[in-house]
Structures are given as structure tokens and as C-alpha cells.
Structure 1
Amino acid sequence: MKLTPQQYKEILSAATHTLLFEENYLHIKNAIDQLHLLFAGVTGVHAGDITDEDIYLPGGIAVSTIKAAHCLRELERTRRFIRGINQAIGHLLNTMPGHTINILYAGCGPYATLLTPLTSRFNATKINFILMDINPDSLNAVKALYEQLGLSDYVIDYVCADATIYKFPHSMRIDMVISETMLNALRKEPQLAIMNNLTPQMHQEAIFIPENISVEAVLTQWEEEYRHFTIPDYQPKRIKSGLLYRASRQFKLPQPVVVQVPASETHNQLDLFTEITVFGEEVLTAYNCSLTMPLAVCKLENQQEGKSVTFEYVMSDNPGYTYIY
């Protein structure tokens, strides 16, 4: 049975309330399942087996429509981003009273996952969107979703473009940019290329989501990491070796970094740890989701003394860190 726009909005509102305010993970999982059923039912794009292909760009890989749909189903990732964006919108509305917040969502995918739920919290006089994706299939899907759910009033434009070269409309003030186009340790996808293009175009009070991304070199030990998963609340012993990079609103491209890795008789695995601050207190840390899984660099066996490791971030069609030691 086809639902009415009002019934769609009731499902959306209930699921969004759970993501924003509940801590019970069963309830959160059920809410995300409800959103997936709703979005997939309207668009025909299901987060199932990957049958479509990525798009390869000069700045990195733009993931396929179905892969983009999959992002919804990472519980902690989805709820932290939605909570952070909800807070960021509230902040902008408080600091710019009477102003409609214009949001550019670069890489919106087929569901505009990080904004669509918030249409149940803010009406179209408060927030407007430019929904952008380089994949026309994703853009067609999200357009169908917004039309079916009766949300078209929120959308200024649907833009099929490469966010690494896109220019803001001259006649429009963009107050927030959302781009969650990354993997752990900022590899393969064009997050930094997008930030390098878009952040200089933003006005001073505008917010970029995520607010902060950091990549750090850390020495780990397998047994300690294992205890983290098998012993409740266990904090694994790790040896921090140095910050490689921090990306924020005051954006700069990464520069080569020499990290002094200390000698250790116990910790011999050098990993890159990613931490993502969406906005305010909404933070994703190690193992919270695929974006913050530690990335193995190398084993440092028989390490009787410290080593210098040089890391360099390569901006290319396959971006990521290289290292020499």
C-alpha cells in the first residue's frame, strides 16, 4: 500500500527522534532500518549487494549509488553525523536569526542521508538545500525521494557536478557545507580535494561538516586491541607517535611529516588512527565505524631504538598517505 506524504513524514519524524535523543542501540538500529525501508521503498535503491560501479575522478573515488546507500546502515556514523548537523543548524539559526540556512550537501548519495531526517525538525523556511552528487543515478534517486515525501520545498537545486571544482552560485550565501566523502586515514576518496575547493568559497560564519578530522600515528599491540573488544570498558594501551594531519574549517593541504616512533618491547604495529569531530561534542573515534578503523602501516620488529618515519599525503586519483622509514 502506498503511503501518503503525511505518513512518510510520521515515519521520518519518529526515526529521527530516536537517532537524536535515544541511547539504546536496539532502538537506534530499528530506527535506521525504518529509514532504509522508507528510502529504499521510494527510490528503489537498496543497501544490498554491490552491483554498481564507482566513479573515478582526478581527486579520488566517488562511491557508487548502492555503496552510498550503505552508509546509512552504519549506526554510530549515521547518528553522530545527524546529531552534529542538528546542533550546527541550531547554532546557525541562533547566530543568524530570521535567516534561512542554505546548506550545500556535496556527495548527497541517493538518500541525502545526513539531511533528510532533519526535515522533520526544521521547516523549509529555516533550512534549504543544494543537493549535489556527481553520480546521476544518485541524484535521480534523491530527487524522486524528495518529490515522493513532499520535501521539494527544501531543495534549491539538484546539481550533478564534481565537488572538487564546483563554484558556489554568485547570488547565494552558503551557510553550511556537508561533505562526508572519505575512508579511514583519508584514503581513496576526495574529501581533502573537496575541502580544498569549497572552504575558500565559504563566508566567515559558515560551518563545514565535519568540523575536524585528525590522523595520528599510533603504536599498537594486537593483544591490547583484542582486550578492547572482549573486556567491557577496557582501554587498550597504545603509544601515540605523532599527529600527521588535522583538517578543519581553516583548511590547509597536508605537508610531509616526520614522526619519531619510540622504541617498544611490546608494541610493534604502526597504525594510523582517524578521529572525526562532526560538530561540538559529536565525535567518532577508533572502531566507531568504517571511517575510524585503524589503518595498518607496517610492523616494526625488534625495535631496540626509535625510528623516524616520514609520511606524505599524495593528492591524486587515489589519494592517501605514503611512508618511508
Structure 2
Amino acid sequence: MRLEQAQHRAGDAAPSTRPLKAETAFVDPQLERLFTQSLRRQLENLLQAVPLDEQQEQLREQMETLASTLLQDGQADHQQLVDLFAETASQLFRVYRQSELGEAQDTRQFFTRTGCVMAVKDAVHTCKDIYRVRAFIRGIDQAIRAQSTQGSAQPLHVLYPACGPFAPLLLPLIRHYKAQPQAGLRPLRITLIDIQEGAVQVLHNLIRDLDIEDYIEDVLCMDVMDYRPAQPVDLLVLEAMQRGFSREGHLSMARHLSRFLAADALMIPERIRVRAFLNEGQAEFVDQWQDAGYTHSSKVKPEAAATRVELGAILDLTLDSLRQLKEIQLGQGASVLECGRVQLPKDQPDLSHKLMLYCVEATTFGQEGVREYDSGISHPLPDTAVCIDFRPRAAEPDDLLLKSGDHIQFYYKLTGQPGFMPTWA
């Protein structure tokens, strides 16, 4: 983020007097502390040569406990979830450590034609994103049950691309099904895909330790954009995005894979809504989280929400709307998708001190979902290239200079660095 613009829009009187503080992390700090304590216990077990079969049994029991707790109608409170996820993460990290990845397998991060690919050493931490995992586990379970009531006894082909080393949005549920067979559910044929060789190596070991091989049709190490299934996909589970629907290739992957879905297929999340709003950086990212400890939609303060200027939805993505997005081809093989259009309010004097922000909210299935600040993927993302009612002293080539009352047309870049591109309209 460019310091001058960030500080100007935060409302500082002088650019050098008060830089913005770091944002509160989406992972509860207490979870990190408990996770470290649990890792120490795991290390002690390794040093004491705990038999592999005993370690595997501990992992299976923990994953079963995680899934069954998340599926209960009566929601566990936040502290119970923190304790549960800390212990689960430590069990998963045992599998990761024992996989003994080489440095290149573990640390390589790179860009493909559709976006950034996270290093395995970073991807393993996504299993600690409490409310993201919860929303997907509950949503996927409901989707599988919905598809099992359609009268077909044929196996349900579930595809989970860009799944990472732990496939955390699905495998706890599959272990739960293994431990407690569910009457009336269609048989599952699961295909897992990840482009990282190290992630696939860990994934094979995890599937073995969970004893769920009979559910897994295939584990593929490949670029999702090259995947073409032999049989139609009945349930697509896809989450390859970062805050503000940026950096990763979720949208490109979804468009590619939608061609291979069965006529009655479901996509999880079934809806992703991105909206744009304006707010002062200090109010949005600092003041309201001073005493929060962790971020969550329930902790958004009314005072911070009151200073926002809502602009509206710029992308509402469902399986139907995905297939109707208008693509515009540009030079050098690049293209963009046409998204929403909004108008800046007129005659509002404080817009020059506000950031443009993009916020993602995802409905996994039914009433289950991730709201703003519930997860790392739903933290608002500032766009510091948008300058409203002011001209920066040191302009950048990509600055978009706007004034109150202007209309903004949003496009989505389908490049190696995907994200929204606002333009004057």
C-alpha cells in the first residue's frame, strides 16, 4: 500500500504523524498459543516414539470430533471452537512434518496464468480459519444430503480442486462419514487436485492416516485449468481466493470447470457476493479492533459501520451468473470480465479521506456462509489506486482520479494477478 494515499484517506492531519497500524489477524491469537502448546505435546510424542497406529487413531478421533461438533445444530461458542481447532491443527501438522518435504516442495510460491499459488508452508495454516472451515463443512454436508434425495443411487462425483495439503473443507466431513455411516447418502467418488507436488504428497499421507481411501477416486497433481474429467462432476467444491476476491484463480477455475458439471450439479460456495464501499482506514482497520482480540462479523462496531459509504454489489456470482459473464478480449492474450457499475455520492465533503474497499461474502449452501471479517477471505481489501476528490502529490500510472458523483464501471482481470479493475464510466 502506498503510504501517502493510505494515510491521506485514513484522515490524518499530516502524512508523517500517525501511520496505520497492522490489521487484527483473522486467526484468534489464543488459537495460535494453544496450537503451539499442542505442537510441543506432539513433539514429545515423537521423541517418545509413539507408534504410528496410535498417532493415526488420535488423528481420526480428532477429525471426527471436529466434524461432529461443527455439524451440531447448537453452535459451539468461540472458545470451544478455538480449543477444538488448535488440537486439530496440531494433529494435521504431525502429518505435514512426517511427510518430510524438501525445501523446494515446501517453500515454492509462484504465479500461473490464472493467479498466485501459495507455498505449502503457508497453505497448511488455512486449517485454522475457524469460521471458513465451519461454513464449508456444514454447507457441503447439506449439499450432499440434498443431492442424495433426488432418487439416484449412482455415486456422487465430488471435485475439490486447489485443495491444498489438508483439503480442510471436506476431509473432516469424510472421516465423520467413515466413522458414522450416514443412512440414505449416495456413495461418494472424490477427486482432489492441487498443483503443488508437496501438497499432494502430504495429502496422500493424510488420506492414509484417516483411513478414507475408499472414498477417494483420485488425487491429481496438476494445474486445474488442464483438468478434464472422464465423468461429469456432481458437486464442485472450490475455494481459491484471497481477500477482495484477488490474487488466486478462483473465478478462472470456476469458469473452466463449469463446462464439466452435470445438469443438476451444485457448486460450493453456491453464491459469492462482492460489494464496494468507502471508509476511513483508521476507523475500518484500526479503531474498531483495538479491544477485539480477533475479527468476526459479530464484532463490527456500529461506529465504524456508520462511517462507511456503501456503493453496492459489483459481482454476484452463482452457477447461472458465472456462465453469463461477458468476457472482453484485450491485447497480449489478456481479458477482463464485465462486472457491476456504481455511482459515487454527490456533495459529500469527506470522500477524499476514504478508501475504496472490496468485501467478499460467500454462501456455501442454504443458510451457511462466511460474512465480512469472519475469515481471511472476507476481510475488506483496500484499493489505494482509487483517488476520490484529491490528486496525489506523487501520482502513479494506475491511479484512477475520480470526483463525487462519478460513475465507476468495474471489470475483473483474468490474468496471473487477478482482481478488480475500476474505471471511470
* Same fold per superposition (TM over 0.5): yes
> Equivalents in 2 of 1:51, 1:152: separation in Å?
24
2:132 corresponds to which residue? Answer: 77
Letter in 2 for 1:300: I
Which of 147, 164, 170 matches 1:115?
A: 170
2:419 corresponds to which residue? Answer: 320
Letter in 1 for 2:165: P
Which of 247, 253, 276 matches 2:362?
A: 276
1:137 corresponds to which residue? Answer: 198
1:202-250 superposed Cα distances (whole Å, 9 cap, x missing partner):
0121111111112212122456536654696643123321321122112
Give the secondary structure class of the aligned counterpart of 1:205: strand
After superposing the two structures, state which structure 1 stretch, 174-183 or 260-269, moved more: 260-269
Aligned pair in 2 of structure 1 residues 191, 304: CA closer, same or farther (>3 Å)?
A: closer
Letter in 2 for 1:118: L
2:341 corresponds to which residue? Answer: 258
1:149 corresponds to which residue? Answer: 210
> Equivalents in 2 of 1:101, 1:122: separation in Å?
14
> Equivalents in 2 of 1:68, 1:116: separation in Å?
15
CA apart distance, 1:309 = 2.1
Instruction: Map 1:1-325; keep pairs closer than 5 Å.
Output: 1=50, 2-4=52-54, 5-21=56-72, 22-44=75-97, 52-123=107-178, 126-169=187-230, 172-222=231-281, 225=284, 228-229=288-289, 234-235=301-302, 236-237=305-306, 238-250=308-320, 251-252=322-323, 253=325, 254-263=337-346, 264-266=348-350, 268-297=354-383, 298-301=386-389, 305-325=404-424
Give the secondary structure class of the aligned counterpart of 1:204: strand
CA contact (8 A) 2:60 2:209 kept: no
Letter in 2 for 1:247: L
CA apart distance, 1:266 = 4.4
CA apart distance, 1:135 = 0.9
Give the secondary structure class of the aligned counterpart of 1:168: coil
Aligned pair in 2 of structure 1 residues 111, 51: CA closer, same or farther (>3 Å)?
A: closer
Unaligned runs of 5+ residues in structure 1 are none
CA apart distance, 1:98 = 2.8
CA contact (8 A) 1:164 1:196 kept: no
Which protein has the bigger helix share? 2
1:52-79 superposed Cα distances (whole Å, 9 cap, x missing partner):
1223211111212122211111111111
**Number of aligned residue pairs:** 321
After superposing the two structures, state which structure 1 stretch, 225-234 or 255-264, moved more: 225-234
CA apart distance, 1:307 = 1.9
> Equivalents in 1 of 2:367, 2:221: separation in Å?
33
- Percent of pairs identical after alignment? 23
Give the secondary structure class of the aligned counterpart of 2:361: strand
> Equivalents in 2 of 1:307, 1:276: separation in Å?
29
Aligned pair in 2 of structure 1 residues 13, 216: CA closer, same or farther (>3 Å)?
A: same
Letter in 1 for 2:210: L
> Equivalents in 1 of 2:319, 2:403: separation in Å?
40
Unaligned runs of 5+ residues in structure 2 are 1-49, 293-298, 326-336, 391-401
RMSD: 2.6
Say which one has the larger Rg: 2
TM-score normalized with structure 1 length? 0.89
Give the secondary structure class of the aligned counterpart of 1:58: coil
